[in-house]
């Protein structure tokens, strides 16, 4: 009988590599093999690092349906819930089946350019800015209804769990994960006699599509970043955003209390 495979994606700093070695030894003692990176034959994806390692692991697995869990060797650690001190307890709980699997809806973006379209996904957020970092003007539509023209540094489209990341730093609202909404948050919106736009975030229910049309000028080169990763595409004309039916699965060994996490991480 072949050993069961656990996928491991980790940062490369000294402390994280020490924790990775401890994890590998524990897995081998309990009849598991491991894969450095991602294997479709794995039964669990473990990331070691902080939130960045977790999000990178999800993206590099191409949003695998194999469950994810994170071991936190970073600073904030919103997604990775396992501390290095509790590695043994985690392995025991996993082998014993003492865990829950929760589904997380992704943000889906469909980028249109030159009569072509391509879909991209994100866990936390998708950001639109100009590549030269100058002021950008974008028309915002919700469910095909024109809302406003946002002028400023850009905007963030965030998921509920992503609402506590860049969105929060930009003045957006915290959203409870079960609501499955999208949030539009302007980045440094310009409010003057020349430009008028909302200076607050907008929370959109999952059945509504958000459409963004950047101003059509030849000197406009729009950057689109999904979970901090620069997305490559041909000249962007407009983008549709929606709550995707595509999900990733997150393994938790305890009851997830959102308010306790917020208090622990931010207050």
Give the domain-ending residue among 44, 79, 98: 98
The answer to whether position 267 is within a domain reads no
In total, how many domains does the chain have?
Answer: 2
Cα 129 → chain centroid:
18
In a domain, 250, yes or no: no
| Domain-embedded: residue 259 | no
Does residue 137 lie in a domain region?
yes
pLDDT of residue 195: 80
- C-alpha–C-alpha distance, residues 248 and 59, integer Å: 10
Is the CB of residue 156 less than 8 Å from the CB of residue 124? Answer: no
CA distance 82 to 174: 23
CB 124 within 8 A of CB 161: yes
Q: Return the pLDDT at 236.
A: 87
Same domain, 206 and 82: no
Mark whether 22 and 130 lie in a shared domain.
no
Cβ of 127: how many Cβ atoms within 10 Å? 25
Which of these is catalytic: 3, 13, 36, 51?
51
Q: Are residues 87 and 118 in the same domain?
A: no
Average pLDDT by stretches of 10, the chain with 267 residues: 83 95 96 94 96 94 96 84 93 94 94 88 96 92 95 96 94 93 95 83 96 84 92 88 96 81 80
Do residues 9 and 47 both lie within one domain?
yes
In a domain, 49, yes or no: yes
On whether the CB atoms of residues 144 and 128 are closer than 8 A, the answer is: no
Say whether both 111 and 237 belong to one domain.
Answer: yes
Q: Check whether residue 127 and residue 93 sit in a common domain.
A: no
- What does the pLDDT read at residue 85? 94
- Confidence at residue 113, expressed as pLDDT on a 0 to 100 scale: 85
Tell me whether residue 51 is one of the annotated catalytic residues.
yes
State which residues form the domain around 49: 4-98
Asked whether residue 254 is domain-assigned, the answer is: no
Give the pLDDT confidence score for residue 258 in this predicted structure. 81
Judge if 83 and 129 occupy the same domain.
no
260 lies in some domain: no
DSSP-derived secondary structure letter, 42: -
- Residue 147 resides in a domain: yes
Q: How many CA atoms lie within 13 A of 105 on its CB side?
A: 18
Based on the fold, state whether residues 128 and 240 are members of the same structural domain.
yes
**4, 34 in Cβ contact below 8 A?**
no
E-strand ranges in the chain read 4-10, 32-36, 44-49, 68-72, 100-113, 116-122, 125-130, 136-142, 145-152, 154-158, 182-187, 202-204, 210-214, 222-226, 229-230, 238-252
| DSSP per-residue codes, 1-33 | -PPEEEEEEE--SHHHHHHHHHHHHHHHHTTEE
Of 98, 119, 143, which residue is a domain's last? 98
Chain CA centroid to CA 210, Å = 18
Cα 107 to Cα 92: distance, rounded to the nearest angstrom: 33
Note the pLDDT tens digit of each residue in 45-73: 999 999 999 999 999 999 999 999 999 99
Do residues 209 and 129 both lie within one domain?
yes
Q: CA 190 to CA 205: how far, in whole Å?
A: 26
Q: Are residues 19 and 116 in the same domain?
A: no
| Same structural domain, 236 and 166 | yes
Q: Which CATH number covers residue 118? A: 2.60.200.30
CATH code of the domain containing 89 = 3.40.50.10330
Q: Which of 188, 172, 89, 179 is nearest to 125 (CA)?
A: 172
Q: Of 80, 98, 116, which residue sits at a domain end?
A: 98
Whether 205 and 151 share a structural domain:
yes
């Amino acid at each position: 009988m072949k050993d069961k495979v656990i996928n491991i994606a980790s940062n490369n700093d000294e402390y994280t590599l020490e924790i990775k070695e401890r994890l590998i030894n524990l897995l081998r003692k309990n009849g598991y093999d491991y894969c450095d990176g991602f294997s479709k034959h794995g039964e669990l994806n473990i990331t070691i690092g902080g939130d960045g390692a977790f999000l990178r692991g999800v993206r590099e697995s191409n949003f695998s349906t194999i469950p994810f869990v994170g071991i936190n060797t970073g600073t904030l650690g919103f997604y990775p819930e396992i501390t290095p001190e509790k590695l043994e307890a985690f392995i025991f709980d996993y082998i014993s089946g003492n865990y829950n699997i929760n589904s997380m809806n992704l943000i889906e973006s469909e980028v249109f350019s030159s009569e072509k379209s391509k879909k991209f996904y994100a866990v936390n957020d998708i950001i639109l800015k100009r590549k030269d970092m100058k002021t950008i003007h974008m028309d915002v539509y919700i469910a095909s209804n024109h809302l406003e023209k946002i002028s400023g540094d850009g905007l963030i489209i965030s998921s509920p769990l992503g609402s506590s990341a860049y969105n929060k730093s930009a003045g957006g609202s915290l959203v409870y994960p079960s609501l499955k909404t999208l949030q539009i948050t302007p980045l440094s919106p310009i409010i003057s006699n020349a430009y008028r736009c909302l200076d607050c975030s907008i929370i959109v229910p999952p059945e509504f599509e958000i459409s963004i049309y950047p101003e059509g000028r030849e000197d406009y080169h729009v950057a689109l970043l999904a979970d901090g990763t620069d997305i490559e595409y041909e000249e962007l004309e407009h983008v549709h955003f929606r709550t995707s039916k595509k999900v990733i699965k997150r393994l938790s060994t305890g009851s997830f209390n959102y308010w306790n996490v917020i208090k622990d991480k931010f207050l």
